Amino acid sequence: MRLVSLNTWKAEGDYVRRIDAMAAGLSALSPDVIALQEDLRTADGLTHTALALARALGLQLSWVPARSKLRKVGLRRTLTTSGLAVLSRQPVLEQRLLALPEDPRDGERVAQCVRLPGPAGDWWLANLHLTHLGDRADLRRQQLEAVLRMMGETAPTCSVVLCGDLNASTEDAEIAGFLRQGMLRDAFAGRPKVTHVDAAGAVRNLDHILFRPGDEQTVAAGFVGVVLDRPEAHGVWPSDHRGVCAELLFSGARAPTP
């Protein structure tokens, strides 16, 4: 099962061409599941990144709004949300929204957790966009702890995949601690990657696919790679983030799907 995670950069840059570039790049990958962050939707519903991509790719859409504010979309300034979305070939069986610990400077942060059918039974995907505040590594750790706590209560035996823009690298303490303790595994373990280049040219590894081991069902990664990492014919990049992709390999007992 192929999973892609991508921060879609709201409506910044050449938004119309970026939508086309994202759709083309994702179509070429033929993913089974796509997790999107900074999914922009205008209050009137006329512009919605995830919906446009779902239609272009023929996938089902589950989304949650977050971080409501006025933003510039094309030539207009309008009320929008910058939320989370999951596109999938199979229908989402269940969706849970978790409000995460937050900082007033940063605003609303949520986790979109969905239950999906898989080859070894149902599994959970937690789609995340953690705080960007440079001085709040402790808050990112708390946000991850909150997700793992909820998943422990909701799905103690199922495989859980956490993915998204975590605004930290796997070497940073707020993620590295979970990896050292064996609470999470990195799909890209031992494989260096760059998923974001800032305005100053600094390269960072911010986007991840992580696994929480299950008691009765396990998940591992086959192929992994950084994707959507080239501009299209007009020089427009799909996003300011590169995507991350992993082939998910499930094993263990099959759980019933009600």
State the Cα–Cα distance between residues 66 and 256, nearest whole angstrom: 32
Angle at 54 between CA 44 and CA 122, to 5 degrees: 120
Q: Which two tokens stand for residue 33?
A: 């599941």
pLDDT, tens digit only, all 258 positions of the chain: 999 999 999 999 999 999 999 999 999 999 999 999 999 999 999 999 999 999 999 999 999 999 999 999 988 999 999 999 999 999 999 999 999 999 999 989 999 999 999 988 899 999 999 999 999 999 999 999 999 999 999 988 889 999 999 999 999 999 999 999 999 999 999 899 999 998 888 999 999 999 997 766 788 888 999 999 999 999 999 999 999 999 999 987 554 444
pLDDT at position 149 is: 97
What pLDDT score was predicted for residue 254? 52
Tokens for 17, please give them: 């061409």
Q: Please list, in sequence order, all residues whose beta carbon lies within 8 angstroms of the beta carbon of residue 117, skipping any fewer than 6 positions away.
A: 90, 93, 257
d(CA 51, CA 49): 6
**Domain boundaries defined on the chain:** 2-252
User: What is the value of pTM for the model shown?
Assistant: 0.96
CATH class of the region 2-252: alpha beta
